[in-house]
Amino acid sequence: MEPINNKIIPKPIKNLILAFSGLPGIGPKTAQRLTYFVTQKSSEEIETLSQALISVKNHIILCEVCFYIMETNPEKKSRICLICEGDRNQNQICIVENPLDVIVIENSRIYDGLYHILHGAISPMNGLGPNNLKIDSLIKRINNNIEEIIFATNPTLEGEATAMYIQELISELKTKPTITMLARGLPTGADLEYSDFSTLSNAFENRSSFNYSE
Amino acid sequence: MTKNYFATGIISKSTNFGEADSIFHLITKEYGLVKAVAKSVRKPKSKLKGHLQTLNHVNAYLRKGKNLDLITQVESINSFNSIKKNLTFIAQACYMTELTESVLSEDQPSPELFDLLVSSLKFLETPKNGILLIHCFEFQLLALSGFKLMFLECVNCQKEISENSHVFSPVQGGVICPNCKKTENTKLISLNIMTLKILRNMDRENFSLLLKISPPKNIIRELSRIFDESIKELLGIKLNSQSFYQTIVKH
């Protein structure tokens, strides 16, 4: 028997709560709050929201080279993103787990090479293996022009396992670019008192010299 | 369990939750499997972040919640850094950890299973840990879960096994003698004499001896098949980490 309070909730409201609940990190209470928010907004605002949602599914694709997200362009046949096409250092590839990582690195304005987005990391206990990631296409991209591969995967067990797996595949290639990894250690603003052993261990291993001023 | 409680455990899994939180699975000595949330752990300045990495052995302070418990403080006992620098060890450690989690329930402690996992992970850190570590672990885990495999006697007639052509039955959970083989209907795996000797040493708990030897590849394959089939039949589980482990081992 349905609980009594469900009978008084109109079907469109129930359907929308269910739809919001399917989103990651959105529980039933948050889904209810979002649904109530939608009922308060004007039709035009909700129309804009629904068009934006549909547009993402219809007009966003992955670059066929680096797998970054890009907008479809009916005038262009190739699916190559602005980063791959742009005036950038063609000799470096920075490997990241997600498209959001590219945005963060680009905002720092510290890197001007190419990217390769894996769309995840090897997570054995969650059933994510090498076949679930864009690894094969990365290996195919590595040619004599590529001088450096920079691993910018997350400093987690999954990120490190992914980096190690790909490094082993690269070591079997005829061309052997330099392989580097983003520095590990204490993050800016960290409190040494609360640091864990792994972070401290990396910080000591990767410590840098002090240059005396003349 | 009081509202605030302490547990020592291994982090087996984490899932992102909300904007900056994560839900962690802990295999604990005191309470079996515990699922708890750590607030804002994905933010850069989180004090818990570094301690709550997968495979870390931690002391955790938790508070009982309505749905999920809350991790309030945590400190690392062992990060198993040597395991995390080697892809094969990572695959083996993830397999052993997931297998342990799969036989545990929430609020049902199994200190022996926890101690088995911790000692196996510590052994994996040693330079020459032996290829048989995983199978010794599987054998002991099955025994602690109530499914001790039998290799010293025929699992059907209980007569002592002698050196002969024997087969293994994953369904029965032991070796079948040539006599009982004639009437056995379940799937059978033929056993090489060397494989049987290794399995008999497991039954006699000669683990320190077994961890020093490196059997040939065909024996390893036979042992892998025996334990894969036994785990499938007796525990009825399929592990996510198994295919990655097999990929790395083959490579």
What is the predicted ipTM?
A: 0.86
- Whether A104 and A6 map to the same domain: the answer is no
The answer to whether residues A153 and A121 touch, using CB atoms and an 8 Å cutoff, is yes
Q: Given an 8 Å threshold on Cβ–Cβ distance, is A164 in contact with B87?
A: yes
- Whether A16 and A78 map to the same domain: the answer is no
- Position A40 confidence tier, pLDDT thresholds 50, 70, 90: very high
Instruction: Give the pLDDT confidence of A161-195 residue by residue, as tens digits.
Output: 999 999 999 999 998 999 999 988 877 777 777 77
Nearest residue on chain B to A172, alpha-carbon basis: B251
What CA–CA distance (Å, rounded) separates B54 from B51? 9
Contacts of B86 in chain A (CB under 8 A): 164
Kindly state whether B53 is in contact with chain A, defined as any CB-CB distance less than 8 angstroms: yes
Percent of chain A with pLDDT over 70: 96
- Whether A83 and A169 map to the same domain: the answer is yes
Instruction: Give the pLDDT confidence of B210-224 residue by residue, as tens digits.
Output: 888 888 989 999 999
Instruction: Determine the pLDDT at residue A214.
Output: 55
Interface test with B, best of A125, A131, A169, A200 (most B CBs within 10 A): A125
How many contacts (CB atoms, under 8 Å) link A and B? 79
Contacts of B61 in chain A (CB under 8 A): none
Contacts of A161 in chain B (CB under 8 A): 87, 90
Please indicate, yes or no, if residue A202 is contained in any of the structural domains: no
Percent of chain B with pLDDT over 90: 52
Nearest residue on chain B to A127, alpha-carbon basis: B240
Please indicate, yes or no, if residue A192 is contained in any of the structural domains: no
Q: Given an 8 Å threshold on Cβ–Cβ distance, is A161 in contact with B87?
A: yes
DSSP state of B3: S
Q: Please compute, for residue B1, the number of CA atoms within 13 A of its CA located in the half-sphere on the CB side.
A: 19
Residue B222, classified by CB atoms within 10 Å of its CB into exposed (0-12), middle (13-18) or buried (19+), is buried
A62 sits in which H/E element: strand A60-62
Instruction: Give the pLDDT confidence of B190-215 residue by residue, as tens digits.
Output: 888 899 889 988 888 888 888 888 88
Interface test with B, best of A104, A188, A197, A200 (most B CBs within 10 A): A197
- Whether A141 and A92 map to the same domain: the answer is yes
The answer to whether residues B24 and B14 touch, using CB atoms and an 8 Å cutoff, is yes
Out of B79, B84, B86, closest to residue A196 by CB: B79
Q: Given an 8 Å threshold on Cβ–Cβ distance, is A124 in contact with B50?
A: no
Distance of CA A81 to the CA centre of its chain: 16
- Whether A35 and A82 map to the same domain: the answer is no
Instruction: Give the pLDDT confidence of A61-116 residue by residue, as tens digits.
Output: 999 999 999 988 777 777 899 999 989 999 999 999 999 999 999 999 999 999 99
Please indicate, yes or no, if residue A196 is contained in any of the structural domains: no
Percent of chain B with pLDDT over 70: 96
Total of domains in chain A: 2
- Whether A117 and A162 map to the same domain: the answer is yes
Please indicate, yes or no, if residue A128 is contained in any of the structural domains: yes
What is the mean predicted confidence (pLDDT) over A26-31? 85
In sequence order, the β-bridge partners of residue B107 are: none
- pTM strictly above 0.80: yes
- Whether A40 and A136 map to the same domain: the answer is no
- Whether A96 and A130 map to the same domain: the answer is yes
- Whether A25 and A95 map to the same domain: the answer is no
Interface test with A, best of B240, B242, B245, B249 (most A CBs within 10 A): B240
> Which CATH number characterizes residue A77's domain?
3.40.1360.10
Neighbours of B90 (CB within 10 A): 28
Please indicate, yes or no, if residue A19 is contained in any of the structural domains: yes
Instruction: Give the pLDDT confidence of B44-98 residue by residue, as tens digits.
Output: 778 888 899 999 999 999 999 988 899 999 999 999 999 999 999 999 999 999 9
- Whether A126 and A33 map to the same domain: the answer is no
All domains of chain B in start order, with CATH: 4-80 (2.40.50.140), 130-250 (1.20.1440.120)
Contacts of A190 in chain B (CB under 8 A): 45
- Position A2 confidence tier, pLDDT thresholds 50, 70, 90: very low
Strand pairing report for A178-181 and A148-151: parallel
> Which CATH number characterizes residue A18's domain?
1.10.8.420
Q: Given an 8 Å threshold on Cβ–Cβ distance, is A198 in contact with B79?
A: yes
Please indicate, yes or no, if residue A141 is contained in any of the structural domains: yes
In sequence order, the β-bridge partners of residue B189 are: B168
Kindly state whether B45 is in contact with chain A, defined as any CB-CB distance less than 8 angstroms: yes
Kindly state whether B95 is in contact with chain A, defined as any CB-CB distance less than 8 angstroms: yes
For residue A12, the enclosing domain spans 1-44
Please indicate, yes or no, if residue A36 is contained in any of the structural domains: yes
